[in-house]
Amino acid sequence: MMLLSIRSGLMVLLLAVMGGLSGCGGEEAVPIATKGEKMPPFQMLSLSGEMVDSQKLFAGKVVVFNAWATWCPPCRKEMPDLERLSQLLPADKFIVVGLSVDNNLEDVKAFVREQNVTFPMFWDEGGSKISNPILRSFRFPETYILNAEGVIVEKVAGAFPWASPEVIAILKVIQKTGKIPPAEGEAAQ
């Protein structure tokens, strides 16, 4: 009986310590964007100052979600291609969304104006609310492809030829099947 009491006491102590360690700082656990899982929901700040719910914006569409910065040369280079992609895809089935991690909102606004970016653009000051804690993005650009159910089907690090016919064909397959098509020579899963 004494042994059972000691074990129970140790278990309570262990759980208390683990609970205390996991709760240091009083912060809630933040869900992480993981390939093969649904994109965690978050609120994004538009360049006009409006808060937008990611789930509502992304709902029912294949999403090309690009985290970028004005100070990043590859990001600047691929932005015209993302703009072309947004114009080539039907808006009822696809959406291209930008998330700037710049520290200065005015820099983002100026760049978007200069580049004539028309797709939805949001600001995550210094990457502090979305990019670092949820996306775990620290090198840019980084792009997430979500299917119409909100599942992350691919994560692309670095600049990419987004408006190429091959990429558009892949996005259309994702829209129809919810999956990335197998590469040539690979069996379908």
Look up the CATH number of the domain holding residue 37. Answer: 3.40.30.10
Q: pTM higher than 0.85 for the full model?
A: no
- Asked if residue 186 is part of any domain, the answer here is no
- Asked if residue 138 is part of any domain, the answer here is yes
- Asked if residue 74 is part of any domain, the answer here is yes
- pLDDT on residue 28: 61
- Asked if residue 44 is part of any domain, the answer here is yes
Question: In 3D, which of 159, 126, 151 has the Cα closest to residue 45?
Answer: 126
pLDDT < 50 positions in the chain: 2-26
- pLDDT on residue 35: 95
- Asked if residue 4 is part of any domain, the answer here is no
The number of folded domains in the chain is: 1
Question: In 3D, which of 35, 36, 55, 29 has the Cα closest to residue 44?
Answer: 55
- Asked if residue 3 is part of any domain, the answer here is no
- Asked if residue 24 is part of any domain, the answer here is no
CA–CA separation, 24 and 38 (whole Å): 27
- Asked if residue 153 is part of any domain, the answer here is yes
Predicted confidence (pLDDT) per residue in 20-54, tens digit: 344 444 456 778 999 999 999 999 999 999 999 99
Domain range enclosing 82: 30-177
3-state secondary structure the chain: CHHHHHHHHHHHHHHHHHHHHHCHHHCCCCCCCCCCCECCCCEEEECCCCEEEHHHHHCCCEEEEEEECCCCHHHHHHHHHHHHHHHHCCCCCEEEEEEECCCCHHHHHHHHHHHCCCCCEEECHHHCCCHHHHHCCCCCCEEEEECCCCEEEEEEECCCCCCCHHHHHHHHHHHHHCCCCCCCCCCCC
